[in-house]
Amino acid sequence: MSARKPALGFIVVTLFLDVLGLGLIIPILPRLVERFVGNDPSEGAFYVGLLTSTYAVMQFFFSPIMGSISDRYGRRVVLLVTLFGQVCDYLLLAFAPTLWWFFLGRVIAGIGGASIGTAGAYIADVSPPEKRAQNFGFIGMAFGLGFIAGPLMSSVLGTVELSLPFGLHVEALRTPFLVAGGFTLLNAIWGVFFVPESLAPENRRDFSWARANPFGTLSYLTRYPAVVGLAVVWLFIGIAQRGLESTWVLFTEYRFHWDVRDTGLSLATVGISAAFVQSVVIRKVMPKFGERKTLVMALLVGAIGYAGYGLVTQGWMLYVVLLVASLGGLAGPATQGLLSKAVPPNEQGMMQGGLLAVGSLTAIIGPPLATNLFGFFISEKAPFHFPGAAFFSSAILALIALLLARRTFARLPP
């Protein structure tokens, strides 16, 4: 068998495990954090947002650094080092005795998550030009499957306690971390023994701090007025979505007393709905209405959906709102489609790099904004009790994005 096929399989599994880890942590982390702060949901919300933002900050700064290191020393070494780092992160989460060990784990995980771009570069290295776009589709597939499998894994394993040799005991909420760490370790061993380097020596270049600067990719976006406007729309869309993700478990646990199984199943349903919309619905809607009308429609539906989440009074209502709100997921592909038409073909890579940087910023800003709103409006300091405040803030952000999009359209040719 040629080296190319096992290399692609390794990359797909690596990306799948990266996203599985994110989906795995979402239903569990808030509950563990609350235990460290005396089961105070308001204070726990503050630390959940801070932990989520810590991961995003590390990913923002290390993504270009990892890319430049991989251009100098090869993709394989970067991928393997980050995989073993993720194993260490899972062990920390499984056995951390205090909250501050969780922050160390999020730092390590954020650095490891910065290797996603390196995985994409590996795919480009081993794929012939005529199959490159097809092989890049594996990235989207791995992301979709990982976000579905992660919450499902939490819902099943989050109720299973483990007794290990040497008197070690793992409580039920931490069992998924240990299992995910085992899978990641096996994948790293596979990489050590069976995965070749993809970057030929003649294609390597010296490490450059200029290329490793995350703000450099952001500054590129200012070269085109249309790109700036749409990038700001992308920013507001991302902050709204990150806010929903970071408060979903906090809200459902506080409002409906859902356990890890309930939240895991609901998040898996969100992942399945998103996959259906972006793989089936988009093929019907986008050709018929075009990117502009689709974006406006998706942002309006998204705003209604966010508000609906904040107003529900029973858990089953979330699933009803989800059927409508999932159509808001069309906003992302519509914005990317418009952005791809706003720059020349030979600058698409730089534009995508800038979008990745903006995406990291949304994950830095969105979670602490939303979790602090949630924590404040369930505390005694709030002028009125409103657990859905964070979802309403996402609705407002979606409406602002809608107004900015329409303003940007007015300055663009038809």
Cα separations in angstroms, 49 against 21, 29, 62, 219, 312: 17, 11, 20, 27, 23
Q: Which long-range contacts (CB under 8 A, 24 or more apart) does 68-72 make?
A: 68/207, 68/208, 68/209, 68/211, 68/212, 69/207, 70/118, 70/121, 70/199, 71/121, 71/199, 71/204, 71/205, 71/207, 71/211, 72/204, 72/205, 72/206, 72/207
User: Exposure of 237 by Cβ count < 10 A (0-12 exposed, 13-18 middle, 19+ buried)?
Assistant: buried
Length of the chain: 414
Considering the chain, what is the average pLDDT of its residues?
84
232 pLDDT band, cuts 50/70/90, is: very high
406: amino acid identity, one letter: R
Fold agreement (1-199+208-212, 214-414):
yes
If you average pLDDT over residues 60-67, what whole number do you get? Answer: 82
pLDDT at residue 1 in the model: 37
pLDDT at residue 65 in the model: 83
Helix runs in 158-281, H state only: 175-194, 214-220, 225-256, 260-276
**Among 32-41, 103-112, 137-146, 391-400, the least confident range:** 137-146
Higher-pLDDT residue of 263, 350: 263
Helix (H) or strand (E) holding 281: none
* Rounded Cα–Cα distance for residues 89 and 109 (Å): 6
Does residue 362 surpass a pLDDT of 70?
yes
6 pLDDT band, cuts 50/70/90, is: very low
167 pLDDT band, cuts 50/70/90, is: low
Structure-block tokens of residue 253: 């646990």
Does residue 62 surpass a pLDDT of 90?
no
pLDDT tens-digit map of 43-53 = 899 999 999 89
* Rounded Cα–Cα distance for residues 283 and 220 (Å): 31
Secondary structure (DSSP) of 90-102: HHHHHH--SHHHH
Does residue 346 surpass a pLDDT of 70?
no
Percent pLDDT > 90 in the chain is: 30
Q: Which CATH class is domain 1-199+208-212?
A: mainly alpha
* CATH numeric code, 214-414: 1.20.1250.20
Structure-block tokens of residue 175: 């069992």
Helix (H) or strand (E) holding 23: helix 4-36
pLDDT at residue 350 in the model: 58
* Rounded Cα–Cα distance for residues 389 and 395 (Å): 10
Does residue 207 surpass a pLDDT of 80?
no
In sequence order, the 6+-apart residues with CB closer than 8 A to the CB of 245 are 26, 366, 367
Q: Which of 170, 177, 185 is nearest to 154 (CA)?
A: 177
Higher-pLDDT residue of 223, 363: 363
Does residue 186 surpass a pLDDT of 60?
yes
Cα separations in angstroms, 357 against 46, 220, 339: 24, 11, 15
- Angle made by CA atoms 192, 193, 197, in degrees to the nearest 5: 65
**Among 10-19, 25-34, 113-122, the least confident range:** 113-122
pLDDT at residue 311 in the model: 94
pLDDT at residue 193 in the model: 87
pLDDT tens-digit map of 249-303 = 999 999 999 988 899 899 889 888 888 887 788 888 888 888 899 999 999 999 9
Does residue 146 surpass a pLDDT of 70?
yes
In sequence order, the 6+-apart residues with CB closer than 8 A to the CB of 109 are 21, 55, 58, 85, 86, 89
Structure-block tokens of residue 143: 């992301």
Per-domain boundaries in the chain: 1-199+208-212, 214-414
Q: What is the dihedral of CA 397, 400, 402, 404, to 10 degrees?
A: -130
pLDDT tens-digit map of 147-165 = 888 888 888 888 888 777 7
Please identify which residue in the block is written with the tokens 């795919």.
123
If you average pLDDT over residues 358-362, what whole number do you get? Answer: 86
